[in-house]
Chains A and B, each alone.
Chain A
Amino acid sequence: MGIKKIILAGCLGVLGGLSLSAHADWEVNLTPGVTEISRSVYDLHMIIFWVCVAIAIVVFGVMFWSMFHHRKSRGAKSAHFHENTTVEVIWTIIPVGILVAMAVPSAATLIEMYDPSEAEIDIQVTGYQWKWKYDYLDEEISYFSNLSTPRDQIYNAENKGENYLLEVDNHLVVPVDTKIRFLLTANDVIHSWWVPELAVKKDAIPGFINEAWTVIDEPGIYRGQCTELCGKDHGYMPVVVEAVSKDEYASWVATTKAAATAKADLASKSWTLDELMAEGEQVYLKACAACHQPNGEGLPGAFPALKGSPIAVGDVAAHIDIVVNGKPGTAMQAYKDQLSAVEMAAVITYERNAWGNNTGEAVTPAQLADMQWGMDQLMATGEEVYLKACAACHQPNGQGLPGAFPSLVGTEIVKGDIAKHIDIVVNGKAGSAMQAFKDQLSAEEIAAVVTYERNAWGNDVGDSVKPSVVASWNGGAK
């Protein structure tokens, strides 16, 4: 390594004299990383580097010797030799030999990387413009990982932190000494997920799933970035992997799951306009401001303004729809997979009241949840739920089994008062085979199945039930 230091010092000396800012790091080489694969990659890198250095010394050495000695000013007379088959064969064969010697270990490492053996943990990594989503497939843990560097640091209004641009709100937490498989895909454009210390870089391609794997040896925090140009904020979607011991990982899984449940409860809380505005601003800056800008004015021609726009001050249903479902064929994503109902309600409320939009309208999480449930959606889901939960008794055609299970076609319960209908599904009918479905079905599923029953088989009552109504039913549903 001594020679390398000298070469390096030489390079720096040439460039030197420049006194540069204090965060000097002068990192000049690849990291050996923290996995077996990353170390063999590093070794290969160093071998090929030194091979190149050796060839360079020979070739450039001959060239410089010749340039010094065979110059006209030193009286050199030009020789007349040319074309020599022996020499030409030799300088073809030797490089082939060197290449074969390089190819063997390279192929071996590559084959190791493609080891298909079973992994202990599967994590789906999804690239979004411009953030990552991690789904732990065996744990029902799923979250987004956003850049957490404050805007003021990027725009030089405050000092940059140590991990400037390489820090996120939610780390990808994984255990050490465990084979972890990453399943990579993307929601919009192609991204590429790279952590140098793991020597894992794989493209995340919309509509396809790529695979990569790693076994991390040492606990630590490993930082990387998206490496495929993915639009405006390509430079602002870092990857942060936190490797912890197996025990810590187990407790992290437990607390994360508990936190997710707690968050779900927020949806049923009643929200004031001020609370929604405060929450909405946070969400807006995280999820919307990159395109629509913090001042809501957008970027003309690329991203529309929200300030005073027909969407933000017009029909609330259209506003909710575009946030929930996105606008196909544009950069406007469907946020239903990214934000919770609370977050979407808050951000819509914020957009309708910030920057002088002042509609005064508050959109509640419950309203938002309902918006996602149009009649078609309710009927489609309702049929599925019916066939799963009801048809065994009431029969797929709704006619029941006379004497045992009542018919639902044209009868009082399905054509009459909707409150009674909801109540019997939610709370069941004591003393009969009719169970309380609040413990078995979600509010959405109950709303869907009640709607289905009231409109299928020629019942055609025409009304529908929103999940929020079911959720707040006496005793409530799950």
Chain B
Amino acid sequence: MSTADIAADQHDDHHDHGPAKGLTRWIYTTNHKDIGSMYLWFSLAMFLVGGCMALVIRAELFQPGLQLVEPGFFNQMTTMHGLIMVFGAVMPAFVGLANWMVPMMIGAPDMALPRMNNWSFWILPFAFGMLLLTLFMDGGAPNFGWTFYAPLSTTYAPPSVTFFIFAVHMMGISSIMGAINIVATILNMRAPGMTLMKMPLFVWTWLITAYLLIAVMPVLAGVVTMMLMDIHFGTSFFDAAGGGDPVLFQHVFWFFGHPEVYIMILPAFGIVSAIIPTFARKKLFGYASMVYATASIAFLSFIVWAHHMFTVGMPLAGELFFMFTTMLIAVPTGVKVFNWVATMWRGSMTFETPMLFAIAFVILFTIGGFSGLMLAIAPVDFQYHDTYFVVAHFHYVLVPGAIFSIMAAVYYWLPKWTGHQLNEKAGKFHFWMSFIGVNVTFFPMHFIGLAGMPRRIPDYALQFADFNAIASVGAFIFGLSQLIFVWNVIQNIRSGKKAEARCWEGAEGLEWEVPSPAPYHTFSTPPQIDGAK
């Protein structure tokens, strides 16, 4: 792709539009780069908080018996860890990346709805502040798991459940507004000549993700509102004694929950589809089939939800339907993996930090996909369901999946954001420690799950002891190695060799046409796309 006169447009006209000074810059900002940065910092903070909770869990599970925490607090930790990682770490990180990169990738000057963008972000610290403060309430924080099944989360919940519901509402509002903003930006603000089928895959995957968000976040809001009504206003949606059904909760929750899973992975597909061609110095093998595969996965995500509920006692026809549709997801997912491998094939590869994370993503996400395929087989799922096998599965797709892709993205675009070249030594050290840590933590969980250890228990029978000890050691390796990441990012902001506009040799796309660091305002006049992509 060649673009005309971009660098020339970047200055002169706008030198008086730099950021405001001090704290008000961050409170009032409508700049997509500022907001993107805030999302990413917020996500990092939540990642560390949620990570500490994971370490409490793993420390307690290091040995059988109760050593550090009581079962009630243990349940609060598992619940808060899940909620914070899903809604506070992974989702805001992707929104932050979208804020930073989508306008620059499509040649737009900013997001379509900049004030709403500011509000979308600023809701989050309050939502999570409130959620975290429930830890200090009488009765403690939510303790019913991040899936909050009724009636454990209604009739039998601690008083903090009401604050939890309010926090979820706030997160939902934030996500929906963020998603609307991304859709509006992508559909209306592309540079002339940037047709839909010329958009970078990261933009495509985010467009589809945004539609998923708009479709399912209201469903989540609905289900927590039904809980609120059951708890405070005498309804019986989830109470059989009043004519309701606890299983209704699970259907509604997972109708949100399964697309939510793809909300957390589709943008990762986009990131990896940007990084692998760069470092293989070769075009992505099948751009169109990647787009169609993403759309197929998004469509299928709406008709597979009950595979999370194979043991609730569905009729045979329901079990068969959800088993078959779930297995089908393997097809478009396979297409993606094959595409990445075909892109690497006969490329000219180098292995800088972003590429290492991207390759680890492909391998480890695929392992998570295999265990997902195993879980799809309903009769066998009766054995896997709610065991550590499931914990291993979804951590494989979320940690070396979603989280690794976010780290790859940060390392990939960091020079663009800060104007400094990456410290490859620290980056590679971080990668290898994370890679080892993740596998030592989560691989043994397959074994203890198959051997019969249920999830969400603070204490376990002796035959699970050895692998649990190993997993705990791995968790601390993984957790501590994130400090290298934090150090590396901060160092990169403060100093480092000057990065060029196109700081990776094989990188393509509009974001590499603007200088590094990217000026506060980019593409105030749209670039020309000449169609020679």
| Interface residues of A, Cβ cutoff 8 Å to B | 11, 15, 18, 20-21, 23-31, 40-41, 44-45, 48-49, 52, 55-56, 59-60, 62-63, 66-67, 70-73, 76-84, 87-88, 91-92, 95-96, 99, 102-103, 106-107, 109-111, 113-114, 129, 153-156, 160, 162-166, 188-190, 192, 194, 196, 199-203, 205-208, 210-211, 223-236, 299-302, 329, 331
Contact check, A66 vs B341: say whether CB atoms are below 8 A apart: yes
User: CB distance B152 to A154 under 8 Å?
Assistant: no
Q: Mark B267-288, 1 if CB is under 8 A from A, else 0.
A: 0000000000000111111111
In the complex, A417 Cα to B300 Cα: how many Å? 78
Find B380's partner among A48, A82, A114, A129 (CB 8 Å cutoff).
A48
A299 to B240, CA, bound (A): 29
B379 adjacent to A110 (CB under 8 Å): yes
Bound-state CA distance A327–B338 (Å) is 59
Q: A27-B463, A207-B241, A229-B149 are in contact. Are A235 and B450 (CB under 8 A)?
A: no
Shortest distance between the CB of A15 and any CB in chain B (Å) = 5
CB contact under 8 A between A27 and B151, given known A154-B66, A234-B456: no
Are B138 and A196 in touch, CB under 8 angstroms?
no
Least distance between A445 CB and chain B CB atoms (Å): 28
Question: Given the interface contacts A91-B334, A301-B159, does A71 sit within 8 Å of B350 by beta carbon?
Answer: yes
Assess A231 versus B156: contact at CB under 8 Å? Given A99-B330, A203-B311: yes
User: Of A211, A235, A301, which contacts B139 at CB under 8 A?
Assistant: A301
A289 to B282, CA, bound (A): 66
Query: Mind listing 13 A-B residue pairs with CB under 8 Å?
Result: A27-B450, A28-B451, A45-B374, A60-B363, A78-B347, A83-B288, A155-B66, A162-B462, A164-B64, A190-B151, A229-B75, A232-B75, A232-B143
> Is B313 a contact of A20 with CB atoms below 8 Å?
no
- Asked whether B456 lies within 8 Å of A164 as measured between CB atoms, the reply is no
B421 in the interface (beta carbon within 8 A) = no
- Is B281 a contact of A78 with CB atoms below 8 Å? yes
A155 (CB) vs chain B CBs: closest residue: B66
Shortest A184–chain B CB gap in Å is 8
Please indicate the chain B residues that have their CB under 8 angstroms from the CB of A66 in the complex: 341, 344-347, 349
**B348 and A78 within 8 A (CB):** yes
Residues of A contacting B324 with CB < 8 Å? 103
Contact at B363–A153, with CB atoms within 8 Å? no
A154 in complex: contacting residue of B75, B137, B323, B459, CB < 8 Å: B459
Alpha-carbon separation in the docked complex, A229 to B156 (Å): 12
Interface residue ranges, B against A (CB under 8 Å): 63-67, 71-72, 75, 137-140, 143-145, 149, 151-152, 155-156, 158-159, 239-241, 245-247, 280-289, 311-313, 316, 319-320, 323-324, 327-328, 330-331, 334-335, 337-338, 341-351, 359, 362-363, 366-367, 370, 373-374, 377-380, 382-383, 385-387, 440, 443-444, 447, 450-452, 454-463, 465-467, 469-470, 473
Chain A nearest CB, measured from B109 CB (Å): 31
**Among candidates A73, A91, A156, residue contacting B335 with C-beta atoms closer than 8 Å:** A91
Instruction: Please give me the residue from chain A that is nearest to B458 by CB atom.
Output: A235
> Would B463 and A23 count as touching, CB distance under 8 A?
yes
For the complex, what is the distance from the CA of A155 to the CA of B68, rounded to whole Å? 10
Choose among B348, B379, B380, B462 the residue that contacts A72 (Cβ–Cβ < 8 A).
B348
| Known contacts A25-B466, A92-B331, A190-B151; 18 further A-B pairs (Cβ under 8 A) | A63-B359, A66-B349, A67-B351, A70-B344, A71-B349, A72-B348, A72-B349, A79-B345, A82-B285, A110-B319, A156-B67, A192-B385, A225-B452, A227-B387, A229-B149, A230-B152, A232-B75, A302-B158
CB-based closest 5 A-B pairs: A207-B240, A301-B138, A235-B457, A301-B139, A210-B313
Q: Is the CB of B451 within 8 A of A156?
A: no
* A29-B451 contact, Cβ under 8 Å, with A80-B282, A208-B245: yes
Are B246 and A45 neighbours in the complex by a CB distance under 8 Å? no
Q: Which A residue sits closest to B323, measured CB to CB? A: A106
What's the Cα separation between A155 and B65 when bound, in Å? Answer: 6
Which residue of chain B is the closest to A40 with respect to CB atoms?
Answer: B379
Chain B residues lying within 8 Å of A102, measured Cβ to Cβ, are 327, 377
A190 in contact with B246 given A45-B374, A56-B367, A207-B241 (CB within 8 Å): yes
Q: Which of A160, A200, A203, A224 contacts B313 (CB 8 A)?
A: A203
Q: B470 contacts A18, CB within 8 Å?
A: yes
Residue of A nearest to B236 (CB): A207
The residues of B that contact A236 with a CB separation of less than 8 Å are: 71, 459
Look across to chain A and name the residue whose beta carbon is closest to the beta carbon of B389: A30
Would you call A231 and B152 a contact (CB within 8 A)? yes
- A106 and B378: CB pair below 8 A? yes
Q: Given A66-B341, A87-B342, A106-B379, does the pair A164, B461 have CB atoms closer than 8 Å?
A: yes
Could you say which residues of chain B place their CB within 8 Å of the CB of A113? 379, 382
Is the Cβ of A200 less than 8 Å from the Cβ of B382? yes
Q: Which residues of B contact A301 (CB under 8 A)?
A: 137-140, 158-159
For the complex formed, measure the closest distance between the CB of B380 and the CB atoms of chain A, giving whole angstroms.
Answer: 5
Give chain A nearest CB distance to B158 CB in angstroms.
Answer: 6
Instruction: Check if B65 sits within 8 Å of A153, measured CB to CB.
Output: yes
Q: Which residue of A15, A29, A154, A225 is within 8 Å of B454 (Cβ)?
A: A225
| Nearest B-chain residue to A33, judged by Cβ | B383
Contact A302 B72, beta carbon cutoff 8 Å: yes
* Bound complex: CA A60 to CA B340 (Å): 11
- B373 and A329 within 8 A (CB): no
Residue contact B138 to A190, C-beta cutoff 8 Å:
no
Are the CB atoms of B359 and A67 closer together than 8 Å? yes
Q: A73 touching B350 by the CB < 8 A rule?
A: yes
Tell me the complex Cα distance, A77–B280, Å: 10
* CB <8 Å contact, A110 and B320: yes
CA distance A31 to B359 in the complex (A): 34
Interface contact A235-B152, CB-CB below 8 Å: no
Give the one of B241, B281, B366, B383 with max A CB within 10 A.
Answer: B383
CB A193 to nearest CB in B, in angstroms, measures 9
Chain B residues within 8 Å of A52, by CB = 370, 373-374
Which chain A residue lies CB-closest to B375?
A: A48
CB-nearest residue of chain B relative to A99?
A: B327
Contact A165 B286, CB 8 Å, known A15-B444, A44-B377, A110-B320: no
Which of A15, A76, A114 contacts B440 (CB under 8 A)? A15
- Known A18-B470, A21-B465: A207·B156 in contact at CB below 8 Å: no
Q: In the complex, what's the smallest C-beta–C-beta distance from A378 to chain B, in angstroms? A: 25
Could you tell me the distance between the alpha carbons of A211 and B316 in the complex, rounded to whole angstroms? 12
Q: How far is the CB of A444 from chain B (nearest CB, A)?
A: 26
> B200 → chain A, closest Cβ, in Å?
15
Task: Determine the chain A residues whose CB is within 8 A of the CB of B341 once the complex forms.
Answer: 59, 62-63, 66
B331 touches A99 (CB 8 A): yes
A103 CA / B376 CA spacing, docked (Å): 10
A76 and B346 form a contact (CB under 8 A): yes
Q: Are B450 and A30 in contact (CB under 8 A)?
A: yes
Instruction: Known A156-B67, A234-B457; judge A30-B139 contact (CB<8 A).
Output: no
- Measured CB to CB, the nearest residue on chain B to A94 is B334
Report chain B residues within 8 Å CB of A229.
75, 144-145, 149, 152, 455-456
A71–B359 alpha-carbon span in the complex (Å): 14
Q: Contacts A56-B367, A95-B331 known; A72 to B281 CB distance under 8 Å? A: yes
